[in-house]
């Protein structure tokens, strides 16, 4: 699904210019006791019990925190579930948003140490103890990879998305939904456990800034200064993402890129060449 050359548009190169930037974005990590421990159960919501056995409790950022750009992962703590008798923790978050406050900035291979230490510290504030080493080895149940593509002057995101929408999709994708929104600012292909999304990243950031300003006068002050301001006057930025939303889809995506694993872990994908391979073969 990478836009190719046409009489109207120049080619877009998702590989960039050899900048070494990683393209991993949102992940859901799974930890099993004793790789984590809950030190403050009161931080979690009420216990939800299931007819088939077991329970779960969740902890999420508040709307005010999200609008103020306070980035915390979404946590699900569970035990006694079918096939998961031991205590289990699911951690879902955007890695670049945690480290940088946005995903216009892209992770580099060398960011792993700082990111893992920060995530371990944030979890501690949320009443969970997990070491950076345990997080590095955590299993992946969701993997979103993406790339910010600065477009040549004169080329718009809506023009690229119209081009993408005109391409025939793979029959094997078995799509259940095709979305084209906001005059072309967003184009999405969806099936049960996979999404391909292409959208105007600077427009997306602008909407987030306006929402934050409406919610509270001080919220916009917490957003990364300058993001989406100077670049917007120079060119558009197309955000392209492949979202693999189950462990099975994640394993298949890694296998297509030449890295087969029975249980994908964060350490398996936190490399720019692997993540880029997943993106290119996933599109």
What does each of the 283 residues of the chain score in pLDDT, given as a tens digit? 433 333 333 344 444 443 545 589 999 999 999 999 999 999 999 999 999 999 999 999 888 887 777 789 999 999 998 888 799 999 999 999 999 988 778 899 999 999 999 999 999 999 999 999 999 999 999 999 999 989 998 899 988 888 887 776 665 555 556 776 766 688 888 888 899 999 998 887 776 666 655 544 443 343 344 444 434 445 789 999 999 999 999 998 888 888 777 888 999 899 888 888 898 887 6
- pLDDT of 201 reads 87
- pLDDT of 18 reads 39
End-to-end CA distance of the chain: 5
- Measure the CA–CA gap between 14 and 238, rounded to whole angstroms: 10
Q: Please, are residues 178 and 190 in contact by the beta-carbon 8 Å criterion? A: yes
Q: Please, are residues 183 and 170 in contact by the beta-carbon 8 Å criterion? A: no
- Measure the CA–CA gap between 205 and 6, rounded to whole angstroms: 29
Q: CA-CA distances (angstroms) from residue 166 to 51, 175, 273?
A: 47, 15, 29
Within 71-111, residue ranges assigned H as helices are 95-100
The residue written with tokens 């094997």 in the block is 172
- pLDDT of 15 reads 46
In degrees, rounded to 5, the angle at the alpha carbon of residue 154 between the alpha carbons of residues 152 and 156 is 85
- Measure the CA–CA gap between 158 and 173, rounded to whole angstroms: 23
- Measure the CA–CA gap between 195 and 189, rounded to whole angstroms: 6
Candidates 59, 102, 101; CA nearest to 77 is: 59
Q: What is the greatest pairwise CA distance in the chain? A: 60
- Measure the CA–CA gap between 10 and 18, rounded to whole angstroms: 19
The residue written with tokens 């999405």 in the block is 188
In degrees, rounded to 5, the angle at the alpha carbon of residue 60 between the alpha carbons of residues 56 and 64 is 155
CB neighbours of residue 17 within 10 Å: 8
42 three-state secondary structure? helix
Candidates 100, 91, 110; CA nearest to 19 is: 110
pTM flag (> 0.85): no
Q: Please, are residues 216 and 64 in contact by the beta-carbon 8 Å criterion? A: yes
H/E stretch holding 50: none
DSSP letter at 43 equals: G
Candidates 173, 188, 180, 172; CA nearest to 240 is: 188
Q: What's the length of the chain?
A: 283
DSSP letter at 84 equals: B
């Amino acid at each position: 699904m990478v836009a190719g050359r046409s009489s109207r548009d120049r080619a877009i190169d998702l590989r960039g210019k050899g900048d070494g930037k990683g393209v991993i974005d949102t992940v859901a990590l799974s930890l099993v006791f004793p790789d984590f421990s809950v030190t403050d159960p009161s931080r979690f919501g009420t216990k939800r019990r299931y007819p088939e056995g077991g329970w779960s409790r969740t902890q999420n950022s508040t709307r005010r925190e999200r609008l103020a750009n306070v980035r915390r992962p979404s946590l699900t703590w569970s035990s006694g579930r079918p096939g998961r008798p031991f205590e289990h923790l699911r951690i879902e978050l955007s890695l670049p948003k945690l480290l940088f406050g946005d995903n216009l900035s892209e992770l580099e291979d060398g960011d792993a140490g700082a990111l893992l230490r920060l995530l371990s510290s944030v979890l501690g504030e949320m009443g969970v103890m997990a070491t950076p080493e345990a997080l590095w080895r955590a299993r992946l149940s969701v993997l979103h990879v993406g790339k910010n593509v600065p477009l040549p002057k004169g080329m718009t995101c809506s023009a690229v998305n119209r081009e993408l929408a005109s391409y025939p999709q793979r029959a094997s994708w078995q799509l259940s939904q095709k979305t084209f929104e906001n005059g072309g600012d967003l184009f999405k292909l969806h099936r049960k456990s996979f999404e391909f999304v292409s959208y105007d990243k600077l427009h997306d950031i602008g909407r987030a800034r306006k929402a934050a300003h409406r919610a509270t006068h001080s919220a916009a002050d917490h957003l990364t200064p300058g993001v989406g301001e100077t670049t917007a006057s120079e060119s558009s930025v197309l955000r392209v993402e492949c979202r693999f939303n189950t462990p099975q889809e994640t394993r298949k995506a890694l296998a297509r890129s030449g890295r087969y694993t029975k249980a994908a872990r964060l350490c398996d994908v936190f490399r720019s060449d692997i993540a880029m391979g997943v993106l290119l073969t996933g599109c």
